[in-house]
Structure 1
Amino acid sequence: MAAMRTLGRSELSVSPIGLGGNVFGWTADEATSHRIMDAYIDGGGNLIDTADGYSHWAEGHTGGESESVIGSWLRHRKRRDDVVIATKVSTKPGREGLGVDNIHAAIDESLARLGTDHVDLYYAHFDDPDTPLEETVAAFEDVRRAGKTRYVALSNYTPDRVEEWCAIAAANDFAPPVALQPHYNLVHRQDVEGPGNRGEVAATHGLGLVPYFSLASGFLTGKYRPDTVSAAAPAASARGGWVEDYLRPECFAVVDVLREIADAHAVAPAAVALAWLRERPGVVAPLASARTLDQLGPILDALDLALSAEESAALTRASDLV
């Protein structure tokens, strides 16, 4: 069983790989989603991440579908105490932005869909330049003090805005955020690494990193090959259009190293990519989603897959060239 990790300066103990809920109710139907969550928890995972906006982009969807599926699983399985539930606010149609009234309405609606009286982690999903940050920070503190979330977190915030949020919280004796969710993976490191970037500000303020797009929208699974796809025509899938920037020789070179290491461990390339990211400075729990039980396998393998220092260094060298 994988060793749990403490998320930032919180008291939350989470598994080293989190399960992304963006596919629940979208490319994974309710029954399949329930089986995936069963297997993830039974395999040693405990962090389930969603958002009120998932999956409003799908035809006929309005957002909240993922939360509703997770809620039905919680009702049927009675396993609320076995999981750490994270959700987010600002993207659901009709609940856009981070205005005070919107936050208070959104958390109540999320809790109703999830069928719980609190979430463990409540994220500001995207910064809202149209709302004074002081108002947003105060609203999140109100939600926390009301017991509707245990902790506050940020997603997609720039380093400067993270600094501002933390300064406002400190000046008003509010609880600071405990986690930051950035875009981060072997072929997309620029948002997190380097002086003044998200990794540095997270370390300064004790925020645990919970990366999304950990598998680069499926590119790091190895399913894309230079002889079968091109930037003009990526393989057809629900996320096909999101990988176009990765269909370059230097990115495929990273996948070649992933495959070599994966073969040595008898696991899938995705497991290796997640294990590398899991051990990057400041990272607590990369997120990965699975629309089938087969796709969940590498996520479970990554919970405790141990790469050697040489293997991690080889991946980093290949990634440096991206």
Structure 2
Amino acid sequence: MEKVNLGNSGIKSAPIIFGGNVFGWTLDEKESFKMLDELFELGFTTIDTADVYSRWADGVPHGTSERIIGKWIKTRKIRDKVTLITKGGSCLQPGGPKNNSRDYLTGAAKDSLLRLQTDYIDLYFTHYDDKETPVEEALEAYQSFISSGEIKHIGASNFSAERLQKSLSIAAEKDLPPYEVFQPEYNLMVRDKFEGETEEICSKNQLGVVPYFSLASGFLTGKYRKKEDFEGKDRKIFTEKFLNPRGEKILKSLDQISEKHQVSQAGIALAWLMKRPGVSAPIASATKSSHLKSFIEAIEVNLSQEDMQVLNKASETQD
């Protein structure tokens, strides 16, 4: 599988990054190992996780996703063949404050290294902005890890354009390690969180861009078209808000292009994202082997300019 560059970081990644939030949440350890084995076999060797993943599942402690991934990598003895991405700075208690202080992030990174059972993390993200803490504190925390080789590269996630630019400027002024990759929420349903000023900053500074919620928490698979489709589903809280006239219009455009190319709606939604300006590799999850088919479809399908225009037009109009 041909690799893609994550900006100027030097990281080469599979063209789709697997979202490890499902490990320990919708997939138990045995199911997670099976999914990871299948991903590896297909060539999807970049995995995104975070220290807080699984905190929202009843009885499942935070860090479960990292523990599962770490155990799998150690068992399979393939650390050098996997690109590991994780994050820190989000409160371990649901709804709690973010914390990007030097001491907190230092402890968070050390804990992630232990859970992942590894000597180094390929890409470590500041998970959310913490407006109460100077941006340089996070960069100072990472500096020692980068010097020791325990963190290879750093990135920012969910930052406003203003704070992202400030972080980059401070890094240059104070000779601190700069963010090299940005992780925004970005998909056909949610475009305004990245397009515009943030996209321009990433382009100007040659940051890699790895969007999350690439399938809008499953809405863009076409499975959710009426309220009854959400009932009993784990992702109801994330997807129900998209069931509106704009969402219906976007699904119709996906249906149209999906039928034309004879691939799934999910494959088309991922392919659209892969062709958007500045995007390096989208992050997507799967809970069944059959879901991985859309990953292959997205890589192989060739969306025309006309296809892109149909999808762009459907998703541009806000309610």
Are 1:216 and 2:212 an aligned pair?
Answer: no
Distance of 1:30 and 1:160 partners within structure 2: 40
* Aligned mate of 1:129, from 128, 131, 148: 131
Q: Deviation string for 1:119-142 (max 9, x for gaps)? A: 100000011123222222211222
- Bigger drift between 119-128 and 54-63 goes to 54-63
Are 1:33 and 2:32 an aligned pair?
Answer: yes
Equivalent in the alignment of 1:67: 66
Equivalent residues of 1:54, 1:92 under 8 A apart: no
Distance of 2:214 and 2:177 partners within structure 1: 28
For normalisation by structure 1, the TM-score amounts to: 0.93
- Bigger drift between 118-127 and 262-271 goes to 262-271
Equivalent in the alignment of 1:102: 104
* Aligned mate of 2:168, from 162, 166, 169: 166
Distance of 2:39 and 2:136 partners within structure 1: 38
Distance of 1:160 and 1:68 partners within structure 2: 34
How far apart are 1:41 and its partner, in Å? 2.1
Within-5 A mapping of 1:250-269: 250-269=246-265
For normalisation by structure 2, the TM-score amounts to: 0.94
Q: Which consecutive residues of structure 1, in runs of 5 or more, have no partner in the other structure?
A: none
Equivalent in the alignment of 1:285: 281
Within-5 A mapping of 1:113-192: 113-192=115-194
Equivalent residues of 1:52, 1:92 under 8 A apart: no
Equivalent residues of 2:21, 2:65 under 8 A apart: yes
How far apart are 1:302 and its partner, in Å? 1.8
Equivalent in the alignment of 1:112: 114
- Match of 1:316, SS state, is helix
Q: Deviation string for 1:180-232 (max 9, x for gaps)? A: 000100011011112x2x1111112111111011101111000011xx327xx
Identity rate, percent: 41
Give the partner amino acid of 1:205. N
Equivalent residues of 1:45, 1:303 under 8 A apart: no
Within-5 A mapping of 1:56-95: 56-93=55-92
Cα–Cα, structure 1 residues 92 and 297, in superposed 2: closer, same or farther, change >3 Å?
farther
Are 1:238 and 2:234 an aligned pair?
Answer: yes
Q: Deviation string for 1:51-104 (max 9, x for gaps)? A: 001011111123101000101110111121222110000125279511111111
**Aligned residue pairs, count:** 315
- Bigger drift between 265-274 and 37-46 goes to 37-46
